[in-house]
Structure formats: C-alpha cells, structure tokens
Structure 1
C-alpha cells in the first residue's frame, strides 16, 4: 500500500495573493462574456477561462505566468461551470472541467482535449487531535478515524462538483477494498460536511474541519498533509478503471447517473483565434501542471471529437 506523503512547500509565499487576484477576474452576477476575450476575432484582448475549482490556483498563478496574455480566470465546481455555460450565464473563451463526462451533457462541444489526471486523497490538519490520529492511522486505517462522530470532515456537493461524487465513489470502493470496512459511503457522509470546492481545503486554516476528501493537487499546492490512498480506490490509476472504478455510480436528484472512472481533466476553446489557441496549447501541455500536483500521462493531451483546422496542425 502507498505510504502517507507530506506535500511540497514550493509555492506558499508566491501563492498567497492569488485569491485576491482571482477575485477581480470573476463575476458573481453578470456574464463573463466571450467578448472580453477577443471582440474582433484577432485575439488582441484578454482571454477568459471558466474552470473547475481544483484548477483555480494552477490557472490563476501557474498558467497566467506561463502565457504572454491577460488571463481572466473564474472557477467553480465543474458541474456548476457546465450549467453556467449551457444556460448562457457565462460565455468564456476557454472552458476546463474536472470530468470530461460533462462534455456529453449539459455541454456538447464538437471537440475537447484531455490534459491532466488526479487522485482522491484524505487531507488532514495535523494541528487538531483528530487530524493527528488520521496521520497516525495512515492508508490502512483512515476510515476508522472518519467514522468517529467527533471528527469534522469536509467534502464537496456531488450535485455541483465531480469531486463530490468522486468522494462517494472512493468511500464505496474502500468498503470493498478493506476487509473490515462496511458501508462507508452511507456511514461517513451522514453529517453536514459540504463546502465549495474552491474553499474546501482552506477550511483547515479557519479550523472548521479536521479532514477533507480532496484531490491530491489541492493538498500539494497548499502544502497540507494528506494520506495517499490505495490505487484501487483513489480513481487515479488507469489499470483499475474498468474492474474497479467503473463499478460505482452516482444518481443526482435530477435522475442523471454518473458512472465512476479515471479522473480526467478536459478543456475546449469556444472562441478560436491566435491568442486563445496559444493559451490553450500552454494550458494543455505546460510544465506548470505537474508543479501544481496534477498527473500528466505521457499520452496527454488527447483530443476527442473534431477540432477546428487551427488545432489540426
């Protein structure tokens, strides 16, 4: 089994101001118009990117520094991002989601590129009594600690964010993987634990939670302690996609069912011009992704569908 890891400390100082910078790039009530990207089709203006919450820091800091363009980044849970675009409340130049299934509905682009992967981990606060116990329990017994009703756990809303239903997938798979773990999907999420993806890990700083079901990159880029879970339950190893990950699912209140699978981040360009093309190419191939804790398999990026001729070179 994997050993517990301590995340890197490379960006604490440089990342401190990112939240303030991103706040000026988002719109809480209006539409993030694609016109803010390139009103004349020349790509001379800023580029607007609407992204999954787990990409917020990587895009707002890493990608922004890697491109010679004014980047306007707004981040939410991926299901919310897809809904905002499909309902016409946002009109970004580029969309990036944490689950490519959302490109099959509610979004229906003619193409997209899969550019990164991730894994589910248990992040914890070592400065609390429960967090200290989690660290000691490690990848073999973490679930016993989370079953304690005195332990506060954070997770995201499965109706708004893929991390929310992936947390449920991980708990169900853990019940099958460990000999003495029963009905974790039903027993652990019983309490009020829901937080927005963009603020989930920061709950450690406010003292609201002892632990969180998070993506590995979210813990790595913020230098939080986390437990690396076995490959069969962390949704991050292609080897187990069919026999393990695909055996679980989540049905939303709307009736839509999402099947488990390997974590994959996908992106598409909605306003193609030289500037958005350059940003997209850096977004999907830049070294910044691994620095921010994402996995980038050798085969990535992988294009699906029929991209415009500008991307067929």
Structure 2
C-alpha cells in the first residue's frame, strides 16, 4: 500500500500528526523533514514526543522547497513534512501527479523582520521608516535566503516590493534587488510579478548581498558581522 505522508505547516501540532502515523504503521523511528525556520520548535517537540511515546524522532532541516523535493524528486520516505508555506504542500505534494500527500494542516502564522546586531552598520539609525535607505547604503551588506529553495527568500522579495507601495517610493526594489541581482519585478494588470531566475543564474553581487539555501544558514554571518542585516522570520530572530 502506498505510504501516506502527513504534512504539517508551521506550527506545534506535530504530536497529532505523529500519533496518526505511528498508530498506522507501528514504527519505532519517525522521520521528520522540516523547514529550517522550524528547527527550534521541532527540537522541543522531538524531546517531548520521544519522552511520551518512546519513539526515535529523526529530523532533517532545509529550505521548505528543498525539503519537499527530498520526497518528490529524491524519493525519500518521510513520515512528516513541515513547510513554512502551505501552498508549497498543496502545489508540490497534493495537487501533483503522482500525489505525495492527502492533506495538510495550517495552524500558525509568522512575520518577516529585519534582524541586526550591535555589530551592524548604522544600527543606531535604522528604524521602521528608513530601513530601506539604510540597506541601500554602499557599505551595508544584507542577506536573505534563496527564493528558489525557501519561502523566507521569496517573502523577503515581497516585503521589498510591497514597501514601494507603503512608502510611496517606486525605486526601493530597483535599488535593493534589481541593481544587485538578476531578479526583476514587473507590474501586470495591477499586480506585481517577481521574476526569479534559476539558482545558477541569480547573478548575486556578493559584495552587497549574501544568499544561502535557508535563512538559518545566514544567522552565523549576521552574528559574526559578515552581513549587517538579515531578512528572517520573527520566530527565529
């Protein structure tokens, strides 16, 4: 019989999903593939679940798209898949042919923030009104995850594009993204469309922007001062 994968998006209901899987297949080990941004909460859930059920929970963290591709392209047999964007589950695992999951559970939300440290340039100047001006300065380096692999990456791009509307400034995306990458944005029928090339063709100006597959992979760069600012989920910052 074909394995059914229980998919969880973003929250803390891992226990419910794992109970379903274990009672169904009587496994002694449970493989959980999850988004990197979920590493901390799932680490806590792992301890509690193992204590209660005596099951060896094995976890692998990566960007959400990369996580799903482990199942859909590499053929990995997972019991639980947790993504930071539920639409990836619906499009890549449920609506796909073949079908890799029967349902997903949405039960939490998050926010994109800009993280910085006491080593960051202009740390005493940046605020909610001028952050895009600070990031545009020549001696400032910032980072975000690869939008081809990770929802935090394409959500960072969405934040920058929406900032043009919020601040009434139509040069923000150009100055921060288009001038430093091959990523572009166009307006079509009243909607903004962000065009992201393949990972090999992103054309990143590494002197200005740092990019990794998952946003958590950039935390060390922020802490050491290699980058000044990082687009990241509030739950991880």
Query: TM-score, normalising length from structure 1?
Result: 0.53
Match of 1:84 in 2: 70
Once residues 40 and 67 of structure 2 are traced to their aligned partners in structure 1, the CA distance between those partners, rounded to angstroms, is: 16
Report the secondary structure of 1:151's partner residue.
coil
In structure 2, runs of 5+ residues without a counterpart are: 1-20, 95-100, 181-204
| Contact 2:119–2:225 (8 Å) recurs in 1 | no
Equivalent in 43, 51, 64 of residue 46 of structure 2: 64
Report the secondary structure of 1:209's partner residue.
coil
Once residues 63 and 202 of structure 1 are traced to their aligned partners in structure 2, the CA distance between those partners, rounded to angstroms, is: 24
Once residues 136 and 169 of structure 1 are traced to their aligned partners in structure 2, the CA distance between those partners, rounded to angstroms, is: 24
Structure 2 CA distance for partners of 1:183 and 1:107, relative to 1, 3 Å? farther
Once residues 87 and 137 of structure 1 are traced to their aligned partners in structure 2, the CA distance between those partners, rounded to angstroms, is: 42
Match of 2:25 in 1: 41
In structure 1, runs of 5+ residues without a counterpart are: 1-36, 220-313
Match of 1:137 in 2: 126
**Which structure dedicates a bigger proportion of its chain to strand?**
2
Report the secondary structure of 1:107's partner residue.
helix
Alpha-carbon displacement from aligned partner over 1:128-175 (angstroms, at most 9, x marks no partner): 3x1xx2443211111110001210101011111111110000000111
Once residues 234 and 84 of structure 2 are traced to their aligned partners in structure 1, the CA distance between those partners, rounded to angstroms, is: 13
Match of 1:207 in 2: 225
Once residues 184 and 121 of structure 1 are traced to their aligned partners in structure 2, the CA distance between those partners, rounded to angstroms, is: 17
Question: By how many angstroms is 1:124 displaced?
Answer: 0.7
Question: Does residue 183 of structure 2 align to residue 194 of structure 1?
Answer: no
Match of 1:290 in 2: none
> Size of the alignment, in residue pairs?
177
Higher relative contact order, structure no. (Cα contacts within 8 Å, ≥ 6 residues apart): 1
Once residues 214 and 184 of structure 1 are traced to their aligned partners in structure 2, the CA distance between those partners, rounded to angstroms, is: 19
Cα RMSD (Å): 2.0
| Contact 2:163–2:172 (8 Å) recurs in 1 | yes
Query: TM-score, normalising length from structure 2?
Result: 0.69
Match of 1:157 in 2: 146
Task: List aligned pairs for 1:286-297, cutoff 5 A.
Answer: none
Once residues 94 and 149 of structure 1 are traced to their aligned partners in structure 2, the CA distance between those partners, rounded to angstroms, is: 44
Report the secondary structure of 2:236's partner residue.
helix
Match of 2:236 in 1: 218
Alpha-carbon displacement from aligned partner over 1:82-134 (angstroms, at most 9, x marks no partner): 11111144211100001111122221122110021100000012223x1xx24
Alpha-carbon displacement from aligned partner over 1:189-243 (angstroms, at most 9, x marks no partner): 3133212323122212232211101110110xxxxxxxxxxxxxxxxxxxxxxxx
Once residues 127 and 102 of structure 1 are traced to their aligned partners in structure 2, the CA distance between those partners, rounded to angstroms, is: 36
Equivalent in 164, 174, 185 of residue 173 of structure 2: 185
Match of 2:38 in 1: 55
Structure 2 CA distance for partners of 1:135 and 1:119, relative to 1, 3 Å? farther
Alpha-carbon displacement from aligned partner over 1:53-75 (angstroms, at most 9, x marks no partner): 10012212x21222133211101
